[in-house]
Amino acid sequence: MSGDKSRFTGGTELVKSSSLYREFQAEREEILRHKWLESEKAGRDIGFEHALADWIVRHRLKWRRARQEHLAQAHRGR
C-alpha cells in the first residue's frame, strides 16, 4: 500500500513540474488578481466565476500572447 502512495506523490510532483501546470497556475493568478481589482472597483466581492468569465473575454488573448512572447525571449536568452 505504501508503494501506491509514493507513486501518487511522485506523479503529483511530475504534474506540478510540468509546463502545462505552470501555465495553469500563472493564468489562475491573473484571474485572482483581476477578481481582486474588479471587486475593489465594485465595492463587493464579484466572485470567481464572474471574474473568470470577464477576464477570459477581456484579457486572456492579450495575456497569452504576451506570456508566450516573454517565455520565448527567456528561452532564447539561455
Domain parsing of the chain, residue ranges: 2-76
Spell out the residues 6+ positions from residue 50 whose beta carbon is closer than 8 angstroms to its own: 35, 38
Confidence of residue 49 (pLDDT cuts 50, 70, 90): very high
pLDDT digits over 6-45, tens only?
A: 555 667 877 778 989 999 999 999 999 999 999 999 999 9
**Burial status of residue 35 (CB atoms within 10 A of its CB: 0-12, 13-18, 19 or more):** buried
The pLDDT of residue 17 is: 81
pLDDT for residue 13: 79
